[in-house]
Amino acid sequence: MRAPIATAGKAAIILGIALLFAVASGGSTGDVPEPLGLWTGAMHGPTPKTLAGAAVVDFAAIEALLPGKPLLLDVGPAARKPEDFPSDRPWLPIHRSLPNAIWMPGAGAAPLAAAREDLFYRRIGELTHGDKAKPIVVFCRPDCWGGWNAGKRLVRKGYTSVSWFPAGIDGWQERRETAEVKPDADWIAEPAR
């Protein structure tokens, strides 16, 4: 009944099943453990309740943080123009986010090319003026791994006041107005992977 499979292969099966099930079910439920590294599966899906090394915050906690002027980091995806979009229809993508947020679309993707990851850390370093204790709130939307991954990257880099806001833009706009935010110029200047 049982096939002899090496331990590494077992773990591989399990992860394969895990990824596959994520696909097949396509939805969010259950509690998701923190991956050992970054999450390299589908970006849309159930996320963990925790992020080791960071605080997990809700709207009330964000509001309490705001007077301290944290760095608000939005890593949500940018709109993509369909290749066959007619030229005579308006294509006017607008990204609405927490006011004064820095938007680095795709900065939560994993894996990222080494150059992109370096750029990410460089930009964060600049935006925090080299202060590893500077409070940072990272987010995208619910059921999106981007915010989690970006938060993990920051924790790994030694930032000590990282907060992850899983409800993201949706949690914010339920109570407050959003503001239009343009993508960070340096981040998008280099072509994305």
Residue 60 C-beta: closest distance to other proteins, Å: 6
Site residues for other proteins, 113-172, by CB under 8 A, read 141-143, 166-167, 169-171
170's enclosing H/E stretch is: helix 168-173
Residue 170 C-beta: closest distance to other proteins, Å: 5
Residue 187 C-beta: closest distance to other proteins, Å: 19
Distances (CA, A) of 99 to 60, 65, 140, 188: 16, 14, 14, 20
Site residues for other proteins, 35-74, by CB under 8 A, read 35, 37, 40-46, 48-50, 55-61
- Report helix, strand or coil for 59: helix
Q: What residues have CB less than 8 Å from 124, skipping those under 6 apart?
A: 71, 73, 136, 154, 157, 159
Q: Which is nearer to other proteins, 123 or 139 (CB)?
A: 139
Q: Which is nearer to other proteins, 81 or 129 (CB)?
A: 81
Q: Which is nearer to other proteins, 18 or 125 (CB)?
A: 18
Interface with other proteins (CB under 8 A), residue from 179, 186, 192, 193 = 179
- Report helix, strand or coil for 103: strand
Residue 133 C-beta: closest distance to other proteins, Å: 17
Count of residues that interact with other proteins, criterion CB under 8 A: 86
Contacting range for other proteins; rule: CB under 8 A; set: 7-15, 67-75, 116-124, 153-161: 7-15
> Which residue spans within the chain are E strands per DSSP?
55-56, 71-74, 96-97, 102-103, 136-139, 162-164, 179-180
